Amino acid sequence: MPPRSKIDLLPADVREELERLLLAQCFSGYVGLSEWLAEKGYEISKSAIHEWGSGFKDRMGAIKLATEQARAIVAESPDDEGAMAEALTRLVQEKLFQVLVDIEVDPSKLSLTGLTRAISELGRASVTTKKWAAEVRTKAAAAAEDIGRIAREAGVSEDLRKRMHKIVIGVGA
């Protein structure tokens, strides 16, 4: 395994500021960034910053793509029976797996417990969403029956009662 990047070894606040500067400068100005780090006491070459910045740019691109995909799912998918939440959960699971496959992971920095917990929470979220959708369907069906009974007692036509029932249970008019 290659040695860790000097940038990875920077204190978190300095590395986060470097990330902000890279984003603000559209991944350019490496000489200036090298000088800025030198002023803070960290001798890191412009080439090392560029190399690390390329990986950071790739990670940011992947995050941007995942965000755009999630927005597209939200925009195009009606949330019947939690379909949107399930699709987003699957997207997150896919991206997590892709990150694990694509990045070079330092085993000493990988928390298997944390990773397992994240995957477990995604699964739990999916189950919770499905339970919630079933509960909503049950309540909607009960409400539709109540509305139908009240409408029948009020003399509303069968056709209108059927249309009301469909609207309440979410299958259209």
68-126 pLDDT tens trace: 776 676 666 655 556 666 677 777 777 777 766 666 666 666 676 776 777 778 778 87
Q: What is the pLDDT of residue 69?
A: 75
Backbone phi, then psi, for 77, in 5-degree steps?
-110, 115
Q: How confident is the model at residue 18 (pLDDT cuts 50, 70, 90)?
A: very high
C-alpha to C-alpha distance for 74 and 96, rounded to whole angstroms:
19
- Show the DSSP H helices in 40-111 as ranges: 46-76, 83-102
Q: HSE-up of 157 (CA within 13 Å, CB side)?
A: 3
The ranges assigned to domains in the chain are 1-76, 79-173
